[in-house]
Amino acid sequence: MAEIARNARSGGPEGRPGSPAERGRIDTIDVLRAIALLAMAIYHFTWDLGNFGYVPRDMATSGGWIVFARCIASSFLFLVGFSLILAHARGIRWRPFLVRLAQIVAGAAAITLVTLFVTPDSFVFFGILHQIAFASLAGLLFVRVPWFVSLPLGVAVIALPFVYSSAIFDPRAFVWIGLHATAPFSNDFVPVFPFFGVVLLGIATGRLTVDHDLLRFVRRIDPKLGPLRRLAPLGRHSLAFYLLHQPLLFGLVFLAAQVAPPDPALSFARDCRQTCLATQDEAFCARYCACTKTSLDESDLFTALMQGQIDETQRQSVRQITERCSFEAFMDSDRPQSP
């Protein structure tokens, strides 16, 4: 996502190793970063459409979309690790590193403050920028480590949360580590485990590339990029793009909702039916969704729920309504139907 150094650079003149600062940027890496940025914009735009009810509300957080989101985050983090090696393989360049780190930390803090105000029940407290800030610092411990050490370590970091978790890590003070038993409710959550493992894989790949003078082969791709090379400037300003694109997309969808708002009742019926049909039949879902809609209206919760503006107390009330309606729909299914 955001490159750690100002320059992603290679070794010295052809045929002999040199400082990674001697050769200039690699367009191929910037283009890959730009493609990841555009994919991220597509995902966030889909989330915005769901947030305003134009598509199923959980569309961007389920099925193939969640896999898409994880692939985007992983591609950014891999490039963070790779770029860390390109910039600091021969020695840490502290000034550009600290300047870039300060920018990332400031961006992460801004995301937290904005989401705390806009969506307080699901604000971002350890998202992709927070992970990049952590990985930038922690990654420095591995820039001189041989690739055959950081590679298996990265695999282990990725695998650990799939084989071990504990409620000890559920409080917010520890949940960012990633070994929690219950995931927190957040619009963007990118914990240390397993995602720092992806950074380590990028570090291992970068270390292997620099140590064996392989960057010249990567550079040979640059002239073959064709029109894709025009994306390189976008990859060089990834942090600015990340901070600006979502407010712009969110604002555009918000304005569209003022002009041609989706029908909240239809949106609710569509979302409820889609979620319910994953585990129940059509008749059950019709009863359950009708009961839930009526009960939410009677409790004056429907509008707040559809606008994503419910607090924790209201969330508990919504949960009680859905549990009651589920029970009633189940009981009705056991009653004999009149001829």
Tens of pLDDT along the chain (339 residues)?
Answer: 433 333 333 333 333 344 443 457 899 999 999 999 999 999 999 999 988 888 887 888 888 999 999 999 999 999 999 999 999 988 889 999 999 999 999 999 999 999 998 888 889 999 999 999 999 999 999 999 999 999 999 999 999 999 999 999 999 999 999 999 999 989 899 999 999 999 999 999 999 999 998 888 989 999 999 999 999 999 999 999 999 999 999 999 999 989 998 888 888 888 888 888 878 888 899 999 999 999 998 888 888 887 777 888 888 999 999 999 988 888 876 555 444
What pTM was estimated for this model as a whole? 0.79
Shared domain for 115 and 176, answered yes or no, is yes
Number of domains comprising the chain: 2
Shared domain for 113 and 227, answered yes or no, is yes
d(CA 226, CA 243): 28
Residue 1 lies in a domain: no
Shared domain for 222 and 192, answered yes or no, is yes
Domain that includes residue 38, residue range = 20-257
DSSP bridge pairs for 126: 189
Nearest to residue 43, comparing CAs of 11, 68, 10?
68
Residue 50, Cβ density class (10 Å: 0-12 exposed, 13-18 middle, ≥19 buried): buried
d(CA 116, CA 58): 21
User: What 3-state DSSP class applies to 309?
Assistant: coil
d(CA 297, CA 97): 54
d(CA 299, CA 307): 15
